[in-house]
Amino acid sequence: MTPRPPVSSKLDSPRALRKRRHAQQRGSCGLMALALVLILVLLSQRGKLAGFLASRSQKPEEPSISFPMALTVKTPEVWRDGLVPIVVTTLGPDRRLAPLPQPPTVAVLRGGVPQPTVGHVEILQPVYDRGLQAYVAYWPVPWNAPLGEYVVEARCEMRVPEAWDWGAPVRSLPRSQQKDDRLSEAVARSPVLIKARRPPPLQPGLCVVTWEDHPPTGRLRRPDGTLGDWRALLDWAEFMGADAFWCRGAVTQVGDSPLSMQQPFAADEPGIRRLAAEAHLRGIKFGVWAVAFASFPKGRNTGKPPYRYAQVLRPDGSLADHDFISLLDPDRPRHLADFLSRMSEDPNIDMVGLDYFRPDRGGYEIVDGFLRSMPVKENREFSGLSRVEKIRRVARLVEREWRTHTDFYEQWKWYQAHLVAKRLRDILALAQLRKPLFIFIFGWNHGAQSGQDPLMLTDAGASALAVMLYQVSSPRQFDLMVRQWQDYLEPGQANLIPGNQLDFYWHQNLIRPRAAPEELYRRMVAAHSDFINGDKTLGVFWHDISRAAVSGRTGPYPGREWALAGAAAFSAVRRSWNVYPLSANLLVPQDVPWATVFTAEVVLQSLCDRPVRDLRLRIEDTQGVEVVEERAKTLAELPARGQVRIPWRLKLRGPIPTRGNRFMVACRVTWPDGDYGPVFRRDVPRTIIAMQYVNGR
């Protein structure tokens, strides 16, 4: 049924209705005009009006913040040794700083995916700091984390969002949609950038011999067995064809008189400067290092400077000072920086370095910082414990139960490596070096097992890392070490210089199937070629001359033979870097009858487009091998891109069972300086050692 239009009152004639409508329209226009005038007046007087309102205000109005949570990354750009502080600020319903009913959680995302950090931790649990009035968490940058931008995200479920202004939009939604609405969860985000320092460009093919002792003052054995003075050190370097010699130059070792904070090192500097000058006279680069955190003698600190020493736990559960200086000591970085700075000013010193740049056993003085900063899953177990009780528990986890608490152990090692990198930054900031800096690091588990990390140290300022291939319990364990480095490093991330030491014991007293010096050679060459998947290391080093020239665990092999094995490794490394205009290989039979003449053949191969003239070849004097003809030969010319074979007639003198009747044949090849092409270096010794072992029967 269609409704009828309303019937007008008898008083409302059509004419009256029209007049009333016109009057209403005129009134509306008048009101609009009046309002417009008032607005114009207010706009013209807005400055005075604002001043009046401000003068009437009792206090400034607080900013209106409706969102209950904000996140701040204190270091938005970090290196790979970074421990990122994250602060989550939260507001109560009254808009004042206050903890939320339920603490937030924090994750670090890359491409929207949470990234697990050290110890397989994916979600951080911030702790409320009442002094700061905020939640605080720390994110350790994972080992060798991919570079680039990450997002730090805090989340907190708001069980009663209506209590905050921020929750108002939830109430305005239909009830059917409220259960899926993300506004019932507070989310705050902030970016963080992980960056890396590119290792400095250094000449590849660096081959180094070292001397880990005080500068010598007495008589010293040369490679040929005769005695010389301190210059014999550099005779060994020349014998091996090394292009660099590194010497220990600063050590906190108590001698005839006590050391002090003003004189923290033994007085070795005059001898170091003398050695450096002699090295440069012979065309050998010179490097000197300081022993960073170890002090001697071991086991006691009498007569040493009053440093803060690392803490170890005695068997009875009490704390004691170690002979290692603490990573937290405030004075040691300055002392090391002063020494490095003095050395780098010497024009005869090309590189400076640090050894024992790591913690040793114990080091429990860092426990407080470790538990406060690292996302330790076991943190609740430390609540309410005294400091000594905390140390005892940490010691038990990292010394005895590390196999079952692998995540905790990894976090402890990461935190140590973080502090080591931090100390390096302190030292370099004080020293302001103008020379490259090398650091010795252990090779197990790419340094992590000893609280060192090649990428952290590179980011902190190290120019090169001398990786020690020492104290390996078996050839199989060495091969495992190589795989650990392969799995960890990528090409171009760090300048590595792996090195092996003269030590019969740590080469498992090998005589078969390889001689111990032969195994030393194998490990040096394998580390150089295989440590970095798809790349090779900068060079190698051989450690140390005192073990051959003074005393060392040489086993049944003369020190000279160990040196020749190292020299052959140098030649292999330089061949891989295409340093020389030629290569030399030695061919010998695998088995040789006693006192029977056999032929060893040296194969010379030219690698350049120009002839190499006046080459000299010499079969080295090695134990049990007799040269039937002349020991030295010359080659007038090796044609460009050509090959020449030079034979020698040799024989084995007789059995030596202590060395497994396995004997070294070695040939030295030298040639004059010349321009053989732009790719070949002229600043390195022109010496190649080719080496092979034969079995006597």
pLDDT at position 314: 95
- When computed from its CA atoms, the radius of gyration of the chain, rounded to whole angstroms, is 38
Please name the residues in contact with 4: beta carbons below 8 A apart, sequence gap of 6 or more: none
Give the CATH number for residue 77.
2.60.40.1930
Tell me how crowded residue 13 is: count the other CB atoms within 10 A of its CB. 11
pLDDT at position 93: 84
Q: List helix spans (H) across 321-373.
A: 332-344, 367-373
Residue-by-residue DSSP string for 264-298: -S-S-HHHHHHHHHHHHHTT-EEEEEEEEEEEEST
Residue 610 has pLDDT above 70, yes or no: yes
How distant, in Å, are the alpha carbons of 288, 293, 332, 411 from that of 341? Answer: 12, 18, 14, 34
Is the pTM higher than 0.95? The answer reads: no
pLDDT at position 32: 39
Residue in 173, 85, 169, 181 with CA at minimum distance from that of residue 134: 85
Residue 213 has pLDDT above 60, yes or no: yes
Residue in 429, 448, 426 with CA at minimum distance from that of residue 359: 448
Token readout for 542 is: 């051989």
pLDDT band, residue 379 (cuts 50/70/90): confident
pLDDT band, residue 158 (cuts 50/70/90): confident
pLDDT at position 653: 95
Domain-located, residue 653: yes
What mean pLDDT comes out for the span 83-88? 97
Q: Which domain holds residue 630?
A: 578-697
Domain-located, residue 323: no
**In this structure, which amino acid lies at residue 208?**
V
Residue 35 has pLDDT above 60, yes or no: no
Classify residue 168 as left (phi > 0), alpha (psi -120 to 50) or beta.
alpha
- The three-state secondary structure class of 99 is coil
Q: Please state, in angstroms and rounded to a whole number, the distance separating the CA atoms of residues 434 and 342.
A: 11
pLDDT band, residue 186 (cuts 50/70/90): confident
Residue 675 has pLDDT above 90, yes or no: yes
Q: Please state, in angstroms and rounded to a whole number, the distance separating the CA atoms of residues 122 and 110.
A: 12
How many whole angstroms from its chain centre is CA 219?
39
416-446 pLDDT, tens per residue?
A: 999 999 999 999 999 999 999 999 999 999 9
Domain end residue (candidates: 175, 194, 213): 194
pLDDT at position 280: 98
pLDDT at position 167: 53
DSSP secondary structure code for residue 13 in this structure: -
Domain-located, residue 174: yes
pLDDT band, residue 195 (cuts 50/70/90): very high
pLDDT band, residue 415 (cuts 50/70/90): very high
Please name the residues in contact with 408: beta carbons below 8 A apart, sequence gap of 6 or more: 119, 376, 377, 378, 397, 398, 402
Residue 16 has pLDDT above 50, yes or no: no
Token readout for 388 is: 């000594």
Residue in 180, 181, 113 with CA at minimum distance from that of residue 151: 113
DSSP secondary structure code for residue 658 in this structure: G
Residues 130 and 136 sit within 8 Å (Cβ to Cβ): no
Residue 625 has pLDDT above 90, yes or no: yes
Give the CATH number for residue 664.
2.60.40.10
What mean pLDDT comes out for the span 195-220? 95
pLDDT at position 380: 81
Q: Please state, in angstroms and rounded to a whole number, the distance separating the CA atoms of residues 569 and 528.
A: 9
Domain-located, residue 303: no
Percent of the chain with pLDDT over 70: 88
Domain total for the chain? 2
pLDDT at position 164: 73
What mean pLDDT comes out for the span 9-22? 38
pLDDT at position 19: 42
Domain-located, residue 473: no
Q: Please state, in angstroms and rounded to a whole number, the distance separating the CA atoms of residues 488 and 453.
A: 11
Percent of the chain with pLDDT over 90: 82
Residue-by-residue DSSP string for 153-220: EEEEE-S-GGGSGGGHHHHTS-HHHHTT-GGGEEEEEEEEEE--PPPPP--SSEEEEEE-SSPP-S-E
Residues 210 and 92 sit within 8 Å (Cβ to Cβ): no
328-349 pLDDT, tens per residue?
A: 999 999 999 999 999 999 999 9
Residues 465 and 488 sit within 8 Å (Cβ to Cβ): no
Lowest mean pLDDT among 3-7, 73-77, 626-630: 3-7
How distant, in Å, are the alpha carbons of 140, 225, 239, 616, 632 from that of 668? Answer: 51, 18, 10, 8, 9
DSSP secondary structure code for residue 397 in this structure: I
331 by Cβ neighbours in 10 Å (0-12 / 13-18 / 19+) ranks as middle
Round the average pLDDT of the chain to a whole number and report it.
89
What mean pLDDT comes out for the span 531-559? 96
Residues 213 and 253 sit within 8 Å (Cβ to Cβ): no
Please name the residues in contact with 244: beta carbons below 8 A apart, sequence gap of 6 or more: 206, 207, 208, 209, 284, 285, 286, 287, 350, 351
Residue 182 has pLDDT above 90, yes or no: no
- The three-state secondary structure class of 670 is strand
pLDDT at position 166: 64
Residues 586 and 601 sit within 8 Å (Cβ to Cβ): yes
Cis amide bond preceding 544, omega within 30: yes
pLDDT at position 67: 77
What mean pLDDT comes out for the span 210-230? 95
Residues 212 and 185 sit within 8 Å (Cβ to Cβ): no
How distant, in Å, are the alpha carbons of 290, 343, 464 from that of 438? Answer: 11, 13, 5
Domain-located, residue 107: yes
What mean pLDDT comes out for the span 90-111? 91
What mean pLDDT comes out for the span 244-251? 97
Domain end residue (candidates: 147, 164, 194): 194
What mean pLDDT comes out for the span 132-161? 94
Q: How many residues does the chain have?
A: 697
Residue 147 has pLDDT above 90, yes or no: yes
Q: Please state, in angstroms and rounded to a whole number, the distance separating the CA atoms of residues 303 and 325.
A: 14
What mean pLDDT comes out for the span 617-626? 97
pLDDT band, residue 279 (cuts 50/70/90): very high
pLDDT band, residue 589 (cuts 50/70/90): very high
pLDDT at position 50: 39
Q: Please state, in angstroms and rounded to a whole number, the distance separating the CA atoms of residues 569 and 518.
A: 10
What mean pLDDT comes out for the span 654-677? 97
Residue 564 has pLDDT above 80, yes or no: yes
Residues 94 and 164 sit within 8 Å (Cβ to Cβ): no
pLDDT at position 175: 56
Domain end residue (candidates: 158, 179, 194): 194
DSSP secondary structure code for residue 117 in this structure: B
Residue 571 has pLDDT above 60, yes or no: yes
